[in-house]
Amino acid sequence: MKLNELGWNDYLNNRFAAYEEQGFTVGRVMLEHKRIYRVETENGEYLAEVSGKYRFEAESREDYPAVGDWVVLSERASERKATIQALLPRFSKFSRKAAGLTTEEQIVAANVDTVFLVQSLNYDFNERRLERYLIMAWESGATPVIVLTKADLCEDVPAKIKDVEAVALGVPVLAVSVKDETGLEELAPYFTTGRTVALLGSSGAGKSTLTNYLLGEEKQVIQEVRGDDDKGRHTTTYRELYLLPTGGLVLDTPGMRELQLWEADGATVGQSFQDVEELAEQCYFRDCKHENEPSCAVREAIREGTLEEARYQSYVKLQRELAYLERKSSKRAQLAEKDKWKKISTSAKSRKK
């Protein structure tokens, strides 16, 4: 196995140089389960854990390796095991707030070149959810592509594509059907040697079916959607990175029913809602709230039907969520700094004993 087949590039090579001089090797995380990692290297596959020093210095969940990460290793070849000494900087990262009540980051995919935002063309199709995925994709540093699956179940595919293009300005939109084997040739250009594509979407969107097609074998178990509401059941229960026989890599992920932003800025939201922000610039008053003000271009567009009320309300909701994130981010930074100095103090006391 050559590293470039796994996605190795000059960015990573420059950051690994100092570790290489110390005799360490490098590998890519293909699977993670309860802090045990399956890592692929030039010397084969290893089961790996982080070192004690690594665990001590890690300040948050973000500091631990995720699927797609490149890690610095001490190999124990005879045991097919390794110890992770460090994490190389990520050039892209798709994160969300972890599900539940805790305020914690969950890294869904790391070091990904392209994100396939997968939605099925059945009753689960949701433009508002897609807007949220787009914001998170742009924020990740990867390039988003929208893949509409199960085209064989849709009576008017061109109309659905038109609806998606209206909310995904400038983003490629591909409609495919694995069952009928249509549109799949359009996916090929994204899977060249060393390029990584992550599949993101809700349960039952067809990610695992697509993964099996790309691999040319049944790696992922497929479950039928529920008949009563057309909602998907979880097929993939963990994130896993696969090397494709035709070149490139695909990262399959569990369906995400809850998709809360973790980090974003106004520019990212604006990129996804260019139409709304361009209208806002045309309002008579610079501080227009788009409520009852006279000469409001946003309200006028909604009345004329050129802007959907639902899309505008989605924009407002995301702006509020962004403001909340900024407040939480400031608090997290303060807590992280406090925890950092607590560790330093504990370490200093230990050395004095």
Residue ranges at the known binding site for GTP: 149-152, 201-209
Distances (CA, A) of 252 to 29, 95, 161: 13, 15, 24
Residue 138, judged by CB atoms within 10 A of its CB (0-12, 13-18, 19+), counts as buried
According to DSSP, residue 281 is labeled T
- Report how far residue 120's alpha carbon sits from residue 312's, in angstroms, rounded to the nearest whole number: 24
Q: What angle do CA 95, 197, 275 make, to 5 degrees?
A: 65
List 28's β-bridge partners, or say none.
40, 70
**Which residue ranges are tagged as binding site?**
149-152, 201-209, 283, 288, 290, 296
Which residues, in sequence order, are CB contacts of 183 under 8 Å at separation 6+?
151, 174, 175, 176, 177
Residue positions forming the annotated binding site for Zn(2+): 283, 288, 290, 296
Of 100, 86, 99, the C-alpha closest to 29 is 86
What residues pair up with 26 in beta bridges, in sequence order? 72
DSSP string over 128-149: HHHHHHHHHHHHHTSEEEEEEE
- The DSSP code sequence of 8-19 is --HHHHHHHHHH
